[in-house]
Structure 1
Amino acid sequence: MATLSVNIPSGTATKDIQEVNVSHEDQTNINKFARGSLRLNELAEEIKEKEKELQNLEEAGDELMLADDDEPAVLKVGEVFMQFPNEEVQESVEEAKTALKEGVDKLRESRVEIKKTLAALKVQLYAKFGDNINLEDESDS
């Protein structure tokens, strides 16, 4: 069992150094919390990117509705731009929007699950370490 000595500043005054025993299980939980917190931030970024992509698709769909039905629309397939009938491109955009919305929903569900896990770990770690540990993330505020 390792011993952790921490010096905790409180404003301008400093509390005495406290000895805290950190078991292997505690360290595992701290590491699990850190990984979960990192993953939570990664998911937030991923959601932002997908929501921006969704917004772009919605704008493209709006433009397609305004376009002349007789003229072919240009669709990027891989690295190549190809012309397709306007109707086909509209269907393709709608399918992409649906898939993207489902993906965003799954990412949000993952975030909720991770938040639940982190909340349980916070309770457990604060119960043992009290003020000797800071598990607050700047992005929480």
Structure 2
Amino acid sequence: MAATVKDAEGAEAQVTLDDQQKINKFARHNAKLQDIKDELKTKQKELENLQDAEEELLMLDGEDEGIPYQIGELFVNTTTEEASELIEKAKGTVQEDISQLETHAESHKTVLSDLKVQLYAKFGNNINLEAEED
């Protein structure tokens, strides 16, 4: 049995199983997109931290005393050159992760856009698919 929704003019629109599945799909993709956005913020902050560490290493120019570098939960002493290489490698990995996350975000945005068009066409102002501002 399909539920009915009244619009502003009093006309009724049937909420079919297909419509409900589209709404559920929209909700799933929207939740995934929000998770990706949160992860992107984390990765961008990590990239900023790596860039800051790289700048700090440049200021140590020529000093080869043991530079502590964190690997997991362990700190190891490295030379300035080794630390610089490790930071460059980490930056490359983080940049790849950011690129992949942005690609995933775009695919979710495309699906959400298509679903918005379909759902707004059927339900008009009776459905709100816009994200709430924090």
TM-score by length of 2: 0.89
Deviation of 1:138 after TM superposition, in Å, equals: 2.1
Q: Does 1:20 align with 2:13?
A: yes
How far, CA to CA, are the matches of 2:100 and 2:22 in structure 1?
Answer: 25
Would you identify which runs of 4 or more consecutive aligned residues in structure 1 move more than 2 Å?
15-20
The one-letter code matched in structure 2 to 1:138 is E
Higher relative contact order by CA 8 Å / sep ≥ 6: 1 or 2?
Answer: 2
1:80 corresponds to which letter in structure 2?
L
Query: Secondary structure, in 3 states, of the residue corresponding to 2:68?
Result: strand
Shift of 1:88: 0.9
Equivalent residues, number: 133
Where does structure 1 lack aligned partners over 5 or more consecutive residues?
9-14
Take 2:27 and 2:94, find their aligned partners in 1: how far apart are those partners? 28
Equivalence map 1:37-76=2 (5 Å): 37-67=30-60, 68-76=62-70
Q: Distance in 2 between matches of 1:105 and 1:26?
A: 33
- Percent identity, aligned pairs only? 42
Q: Which segment drifts farther, 105-114 or 130-139?
A: 130-139
Contact 2:67 2:79 in 1 (8 A): yes
Superposed displacement of residue 43, structure 1: 1.2
Return the offset for 1:19: 3.3
**Does structure 2 conserve the Cα–Cα contact (< 8 Å) formed by 1:5 and 1:17?**
no
Determine the structure 2 residue equivalent to 1:132. Answer: 126
RMSD between superposed Cα atoms in Å: 1.9
Structure 2: stretches of 5+ with no match in the other structure:
none
